[in-house]
Amino acid sequence: MNPEDDEHRDALAAAADDLANLELLNTELAGRVARQEDANSKVDTKVAFLLGFIATATQFLASRHLQPELGVLAFTCYALAFALGIPALVIRPYQELNPRALYDGYADKTKTRTLLALCSLRVNIYEANDKKHEAKSAWWWCSLTATVAGLVFSVTAIVDAGTHDQLRRTAPAVASPVTATSPVTTLGGAGTRAGASLHGAAHLH
């Protein structure tokens, strides 16, 4: 056997192993990036739903009779929640592979070099998008926390106002004070009337 042929076969086998390894890595990275994009899309959906809920809850709260201090706290929490949700919704765009740059740069390259480039690009994209995903999720959680606090204050403000109204309706009416008549005055008046009657009778006789 020719040693050179053996070396050539070994080199081809090593290259085939390297190529298979790169294909495996590229497939896994492509799947991770796709799952990351799906997770980011779900966060966008959650943020949009939360902002819509906050707007609806604020309108409902404005139409109710509230305990003043608790009502102010509820509106403040809703305003804060809406403000915290906006950054989560506007963190865009996510990085993606540039088709034109990929074609122009690797159309004439070998499969191995192209796979190496794809793996490197997907790693960079995943890392950049992961930072945005973490920031978006953090803003969403903060907005959700403020929304929950607003709900608690809203329910408490409505219930407290209703309780006070019920107490006012069921409270007994305060009796109006009656002016007391002095016994001395009463007796004096009776004596005067009796004297007048006797005087009139004397004149008649």
Per-residue confidence of the chain (205 residues) as pLDDT tens digits? 554 444 545 554 555 677 888 888 889 999 999 999 899 889 999 999 999 999 999 999 999 888 889 999 999 999 999 999 999 888 876 778 888 888 888 888 888 888 888 988 999 999 989 988 999 999 999 999 999 999 999 999 999 886 766 666 665 544 445 444 444 444 455 455 545 454 544 444 4
CB 44 within 8 A of CB 89: yes
pLDDT at 194: 46
pLDDT at 180: 46
In whole angstroms, how far apart are CA 153 and each of 42, 99, 131, 134, 142? 28, 51, 34, 29, 17
- Helices 99-106 and 111-170 cross at an angle (nearest 10°) of 170
CB 129 within 8 A of CB 40: yes
pTM of the predicted structure, to 2 decimals: 0.67
